[in-house]
Structure 1
Amino acid sequence: MADHRFSLSLIVLLMVAMAFLKGAIAADYEVGDDYGWDVPPSNSSEYYPSWANRYEFKVGDSAVFNWTWNHTAAHVTNQADYETAIQTLRK
């Protein structure tokens, strides 16, 4: 009888521990959800802060930045070259 109670107590203890540990598991968050990491819709400066406010981030969580433009690099030396490069990327 004592072995049965011990086994049952151990099972209950393990279930309680698992319930607490579930909240301690790190999570991956895709920044911007399906929209991704891009210039916000209508250049809204509130898009990403609003996105972040929907979640409770914890130590160990990861932020995944999915860039939606073509992956490229351009060397620019002035504002005009920069603007040209941006316009080219957006096409």
Structure 2
Amino acid sequence: MMGRQGVVSMAGLLVLFALASTRTTMATDYTVGDSMGWTGPPNITEGFYNDWAAGKTFEGGDSLKFVWNGSHNVAIVSKEDYENCTKVSSYFIGGSAFTYTLPSNASGMYYFICTVDSHCEGGQKLAINVTSSEPSTTDDGSSAPLLAIGALSSAVLPAGVLLLHLLN
């Protein structure tokens, strides 16, 4: 027969296992270009920002912080405007930084350029693929996280009941 300490340890392990098997999504804050920041030619090369983004997983709720020195801006543009470096009239400008938070339901491609002088043509542009952070649903329309919570409670509840029973 297992003693109280063993039961407590076993219940604790069950709780930890149940918690570890659930997935929580936390938003990530990215500084575009890392220590180089959002800068224009001649400091960067074509593809620098897309190389920076490669290997990163962007999800809805994540933040992109554009930090710069000098004269720069950030425009969120269409794929065509990105490819052609179109000088759009709607852009974000500030002292030396701008933070853009991807909408929570974001998915697909997002395009950013600098419209100052020929900065975009010199490579000051970024294309990222955003994966959906929205909970997936089952065929009946129910939410997958609710299933995870159900699985969690079905693992933790019996362990708690057993623990209380053995401690009394």
Which of the five TM-score ranges fits, normalised by the shorter chain? 0.5 to 0.7
Q: In the alignment, what sits opposite 1:51?
A: 52
Matches of residues 1-91 of structure 1 in structure 2 within 5 Å? 7-8=8-9, 10-16=11-17, 17-18=19-20, 20-21=22-23, 24-39=25-40, 42-69=43-70, 71=95
| Unaligned runs of at least 5 residues, structure 1 | 73-81, 84-91
Structure 1 residue 36 displacement after superposition: 0.4
Per-residue deviation, 1:68: 2.2
Give the match's secondary structure for 2:56: coil
SS of 1:68 mapped into structure 2: coil
What is the Cα deviation at residue 48 of structure 1? 0.4
If each structure's strand is expressed as a fraction of its own residues, which one has the higher value? 2
What displacement does 1:25 show?
1.2
Higher helix share: 1
Q: Distance in 1 between matches of 2:47 and 2:16?
A: 41
The amino acid across from 2:54 in the alignment is N
Please state how far the C-alpha of 1:63 moved relative to its aligned partner. Answer: 0.7
Identity %: 29
* 1:60 Cα deviation after fit: 1.6
The whole-number CA distance in structure 1 between the counterparts of 2:31 and 2:68 is 11
- Matched AA of 2:33: G
Amino acid at match of 1:65: F
Following the alignment from structure 2 to structure 1, what is the Cα–Cα distance between the partners of residues 63 and 30? Answer: 6
Q: Which residue of 2 aligns with 1:76?
A: none
CA change 1:27–1:6 in 2 (3 A) is farther
Gaps of 5+ in 2: 72-94, 97-115, 118-168
Counterpart of 1:55, as a letter, is K
Using the TM superposition, give the Cα deviation of residue 54 of structure 1 relative to its aligned residue in structure 2, in angstroms.
2.9
How many residue pairs are counted as aligned between the two chains?
73
2-structure distance, mates of 1:13, 1:64: 40
RMSD across aligned positions (CA): 3.3
